[in-house]
Structure 1
Amino acid sequence: MAFLKHNGRTICYRLLGDSAKPMLLMAHPLGMTQGVWDDMLSTLLGKFRVLTWDLPGHGASSAWPEDSSQITPEDLAQEALALTAVAGAESFHFIGTSIGGVIGQQLVSQHSDRLISTTLTNTGAVIGTPEAWSSRSASVMKFGLNTMAVDIVPRWFGPAACDQQPALVEGWRVVMGRGDKRSYALLCEMLGQCDFREKLQNHRAPLVLVGGTDDVATPPEALQALAQFSGAAAPVILARVGHVPSVECPEKLNQILFENLA
């Protein structure tokens, strides 16, 4: 792990692989950490230099500053670009899941000249409703992440992954419970306001969309709608996969990356 000071915060990141290879920047889902990519790395490093990081208040990244009352997609995109600057990458491939896919949409809409390709998984131009995200934000602040994780984490994974890995849900409950509740709550408020339906028409970055049949948070319909708004090809929908394919089927996700980024 390494650390970057950016706008008064410390960001935890990993920069792995040969500097001569193309950069792949990877953004994790809400409530998780950059560890979601671990099972993909040994394969990816054969073709890419890989950069991963922890979102505000997640993993080993510091919480969002107390004197700031909101987080925007552009804030998160600027953190991503600051990390690529440290790596010396003028252009890069990107993959993001869930809120990581929101960061990707922000990069596509405002910084597409930096993107060699963009792969968005288990996300949407709009995710959920403002009311639902506001309610979750309030509940997290009232009850804490450790309590909220009991109900939230089981929604991340499809039945197939849970059957194969009995400790999967409990392990990620521990991870989510260790996060900073205020940072998480602010990210919930951000997601409630995100709407990229009119922002993705004129991008120049090759765009690949991936979803899962068992994803209850961003079902296949959300990816299909995103394809229409962005002009992307029909999404790849993985059978018996939930919200986090990098954990549930890392080999399949690597295969999709290699097929589309070649």
Structure 2
Amino acid sequence: MQFLRLPDATLHIGDQGPRDGRVVMFANSLGTDLRVWDPLLALLPTDLRIICFDKRGHGLSDATPAPYGMDQLVGDAEAICEALDLRDVTFVGLSIGGLIGQGLAARRPDLLRALVLMDTAAKIGSSEMWQSRIDAVSAGGLPSMAGAIMERWFTQPFRDARPEFALWTNMLTRTTVDGYTGCSAAIAGADLTESTRALTLPVMALAGDQDGSTPPDLVRATAALCGAEFHLVADAGIFPVSNSPRRPRDFLSSFSKGPTHEPL
């Protein structure tokens, strides 16, 4: 078990693969922990150095008092890169993880070689919508919202037929209230349209065709904003890595723009 101690929090980190391997860093979504990537990681080449982490208030990381700001969450990812001496990183961000990746690419282009945006956008939802969710979770806890959230996350066939669906519900409901509402506040205050428009590194965007949280058209618009490749993953919600992990693996493996950006 690895960790990074920051001035105000201790973050849980996963670091696997050869120290000299090409680095792929994964940032997961709101209400999940780094285990969300397990189905995909099992399919990736073993010569990569894989970095995952739990956002503050998620998984095994400390839950600092809400609200959080996007700059704060980007700073956490930046601190991990600095502490582990990571450079030439391919950053893969899902949902809020994609916002963190966009922010890190704008702030520290020297750290990243490429960016993969998965079911995310430069701006997600309205501040009013997020405040309503923050109020509901603060009042009733995450179990009170779990049913509605799961409907947005997963397709009906997945919810009906996959026995591991219960584990995803558990992952969500065991997220701390501070972690969920704090990160919700960070999303509510984030509009990265202009900084993402200015990105010059290679970018690829993926969207599940049945994602109810960040619909494909929203992801496609962000891809167009920064000249990214765009791919639609069939029969998937916000977690293409769980619905059909081989499709995201195939897209990641073929992702190459420019002579210094080899495929995974």
Shorter-chain TM-score bucket reads: over 0.9
Query: Which residue identity is paired with 2:238?
Result: H
- 1:104 partnered with 2:101: yes
C-alpha contact (below 8 Å) 2:233/2:248 kept by paired residues = no
More helix by share: 1
Distance 2:114 2:191 in 1: 21
Mean Cα displacement is larger for which, 85-94 or 136-145?
A: 85-94
Cα displacement (A) at 1:112:
2.0
Given candidates 193, 213, 218, the residue that maps to 1:217 is 213
Q: Which runs of 4+ in 1 moved over 3 A?
A: none
Distance 2:227 2:7 in 1: 35
Counterpart for residue 17 of structure 2? 17
Q: CA deviation at 1:163?
A: 4.4
Residues 1-262 of structure 1 mapped to structure 2, 5 A cutoff = 1-64=1-64, 66=65, 70-168=67-165, 170-233=166-229, 235-261=230-256, 262=263
- Give distance in 2, aligned partners of 1:20 and 1:81: 19
- Of residues 20-29 and 188-197 in structure 1, the stretch that sits farther from structure 2 once superposed is 188-197
CA shift digits 1:6-65 (9 cap, x unpaired): 12201011100011211110000100110011112233242410000111111111102x
Per-residue CA deviation, residues 148-204 of structure 1 (Å, 9 max, x unaligned), is 223212321123433441441x22121111111022112112211211121222222
What is the CA–CA distance in structure 2 between the aligned matches of 1:256 and 1:228, rounded to whole Å? 18
Residues 117 and 206 of structure 2 are in contact (CA less than 8 Å); yes or no, is this contact kept in structure 1?
yes
TM-score where L is the length of structure 1: 0.93
Task: Name the amino acid aligned to 1:149.
Answer: A
Q: CA deviation at 1:212?
A: 1.2
Q: Distance in 2 between matches of 1:190 and 1:14?
A: 23
- The CA distance in 2 between the partners of 1:159 and 1:173, in whole Å, is 14
Q: Secondary structure at the match of 1:246?
A: helix
Query: 1:229-257: per-residue Cα shift (whole Å, max 9, x none)?
Result: 22223x10111111011111111111111
Where structure 2 has 5 or more consecutive residues not aligned to the other structure, the ranges are 257-262
SS at 1:44 equivalent: coil
Counterpart Cα distance in 1 of 2:207 and 2:142: 26
Answer with 172-181 or 95-104: which moved more.
172-181
Take 1:93 and 1:161, find their aligned partners in 2: how far apart are those partners?
29
CA distance in 2: counterparts of 1:94 and 1:177, whole angstroms: 27
Unaligned runs of 5+ in 1: none
Distance 1:91 1:167 in 2: 35
Instruction: Quote the Cα distance in structure 1 between the aligned partners of 2:70 and 2:116.
Output: 17
Retained in 2: the 8 A contact 1:159–1:240?
no
| Structure-2 separation of matches of 1:214 and 1:201 | 26
Structure-1 residue corresponding to 2:260: none
CA apart distance, 1:211: 0.3
**RMSD of aligned Cα (Å):** 1.6
The answer to whether the 8 A contact 1:146-1:174 is kept is: no
Distance 1:158 1:47 in 2: 33
**TM-score normalized by structure 2?**
0.92
Q: How many residues align?
A: 257
Contact in 2 for aligned 1:76/1:103 (Cα 8 Å): yes
